[in-house]
Structure 1
């Protein structure tokens, strides 16, 4: 007869007795286990998060990639319509250029789509925008003074004639230059899988509290006004130039008031070329979940990460998700913000 059958046939009282005796035996081992000696605590691993959104990566997905952040300069005038590829961006910054219009610095890291544009030229403002991410720029080029300063700050850029750039048929110049960011990213690889630093001080929705109602907002840049409306849990750019179904839909709109100075040269039409100074400190407004929190922003150096504080000086975090940053001139003649109730 097999042992397992013998065990099952033992009387229940005998089984109980054997368990009691087993518990009484081996006292020395029991004393050692309760000796009070400290045991090593296991610290749970922090979840891997994307640097431009603060969102957790999927299981097994690495956030340390071989390519750097790729910032693409995209035209934002009506002539750029329809913009292609904005929905794939992780983060977008809107900046003032000459004539009171704006351009977009669209940040790509978690994915590099193959069709982005129309691609336009860099400005000196991009140095402070791109440097904290350690990114490269996809651009049509720039004025000689800007290129000199970009090179001096050791920012790598890719332009027409480089990997991925092409002219799209059916559009007229200069609004027909597009690029394949997969090819740009491949050309920017350096053989090192590294995660860029967080672009913003990321938090959770629970960190965002005490805001006042702000169902709409408008960022005024002079000739360009960008309008936002909160609906269905996100913000909608009601006058976007993006293609249908290809809009960038942010969870948060971050307005930063910046000083604007003369970039030191004129454009071909003789217009003043502005430079947004994205360092120092200024007023900030964080729009999330249909509310706004007022505070300040600071950036010690041009390549420093951004920090935010509430009006009373407490740390202010941005809920993880997609963010659109408005760099609105602090000068009332060139910029202002209107908040609807």
Structure 2
């Protein structure tokens, strides 16, 4: 069942979020995990969506970096937003970090992407006013800060709006477990074929992602906009598998406050992809018949293409 209090929310969400930003913003401060004033309240009661994944919308503007808690995610999705920039969605099923962020606003594409999970919890900060009713109607548990204040805090490491963080343990009792990752992904040994590749770059109109193979870490090191992507409390972010999924990116029905159209990333359908794992690149096909289905990846011969075990990055590139 959907959590009580979600329906009937209006564009006040955006207004309240803006007020919170103004009142609670901290001063800029470099360092480790963003600091907070602990109010002493305990963990959440699990009501938003126990047994389902937690998806968190992550700010990816340059002023929002370095990020916090993304290294603990099972999956990281990268999508194009207004002005050709990028935003991330981190999905947690097997473990929670102490904090995640900075948290930012949701997009229409998120609702279709999240339909593959069983009533996921979506943590986000605000949304376009006309999108809020669609979020209310979606089969998910919306968890914005104004309805879950004990789970969020303003850090002192960055200025608002780039300093809002989520404490997952105060939103949900525990991580749901790997069985909640109904993505359609398969995992297994390195398949035959592919080509050796040491680095791969994906470009958006105003952003870029580079993945460089590290033999010593057995991972693809992540760089964004030409700089290594470190976390506030760890080394450079790294993925076991990187998927560059070529999709249709069209105009949505929504615009931002400057009048820029919000891109809509089509994640249902089929197309081509490139899968990076173990220092090799594989040409692949992807298929997601409906929003309720996960996405299957196969070789060009139609055989399942297994991923390496560990964190998966999926970058949605324009076909």
TM over 0.5: yes
Q: Which residue of 2 aligns with 1:236?
A: 221
Unmatched 5+ residue regions in structure 1?
1-64, 331-341
Q: What is the CA–CA distance in structure 2 between the aligned matches of 1:185 and 1:126, rounded to whole Å? A: 20
SS in structure 1 at match of 2:136: helix
Displacement of 1:270: 1.2
Q: What is the CA–CA distance in structure 2 between the aligned matches of 1:219 and 1:154, rounded to whole Å? A: 31
Matches within 5 A, 1:20-39: none
Contact 1:86 1:247 in 2 (8 A): no
TM-score, normalised on structure 2?
0.77
Q: Which residue of 2 aligns with 1:159?
A: 144
Q: Which residue of 2 aligns with 1:185?
A: 172
Q: Which residue of 2 aligns with 1:16?
A: none
Q: CA-to-partner distance for each residue in 1:210-239, whole Å, 9 max, x for gaps? A: 001211000111100011100122100133
- Shift in alpha-carbon separation, 1:174–1:70, aligned structure 2, 3 A: same
Q: What is the CA–CA distance in structure 1 between the aligned matches of 2:181 and 2:164, rounded to whole Å? A: 30
2:79 alignment partner, one of 54, 72, 95: 95
Contact 2:93 2:180 in 1 (8 A): no
Superposed CA RMSD in Å reads 2.2
Contact 1:285 1:295 in 2 (8 A): yes
Contact 1:69 1:133 in 2 (8 A): yes
Q: Which residue of 1 aligns with 2:317?
A: 328
1:266 alignment partner, one of 255, 260, 268: 255
Q: What is the CA–CA distance in structure 2 between the aligned matches of 1:246 and 1:84, rounded to whole Å? A: 11
Q: Which residue of 1 aligns with 2:203?
A: 220
Q: Which residue of 2 aligns with 1:124?
A: 108
Q: What is the CA–CA distance in structure 2 between the aligned matches of 1:197 and 1:79, rounded to whole Å? A: 31
Q: CA-to-partner distance for each residue in 1:3-25, whole Å, 9 max, x for gaps? A: xxxxxxxxxxxxxxxxxxxxxxx
Contact 2:209 2:222 in 1 (8 A): yes
Higher Cα Rg: structure 1 or 2? 1
- Shift in alpha-carbon separation, 1:104–1:247, aligned structure 2, 3 A: farther
Moved over 4 A (4+): none
Q: What is the CA–CA distance in structure 2 between the aligned matches of 1:164 and 1:275, rounded to whole Å? A: 29
Q: What is the CA–CA distance in structure 2 between the aligned matches of 1:120 and 1:159, rounded to whole Å? A: 10
Q: Which residue of 2 aligns with 1:146?
A: 131
Q: What is the CA–CA distance in structure 2 between the aligned matches of 1:194 and 1:169, rounded to whole Å? A: 33
1:115 alignment partner, one of 90, 99, 124: 99
Displacement of 1:66: 4.0
Displacement of 1:242: 3.2
Contact 1:76 1:241 in 2 (8 A): no
Displacement of 1:298: 0.7
Contact 2:278 2:308 in 1 (8 A): no
Contact 1:86 1:246 in 2 (8 A): no
Contact 2:64 2:158 in 1 (8 A): no
Displacement of 1:76: 1.0
Q: CA-to-partner distance for each residue in 1:276-334, whole Å, 9 max, x for gaps? A: 0110011111101111111110111112111112112222222322111111111xxxx
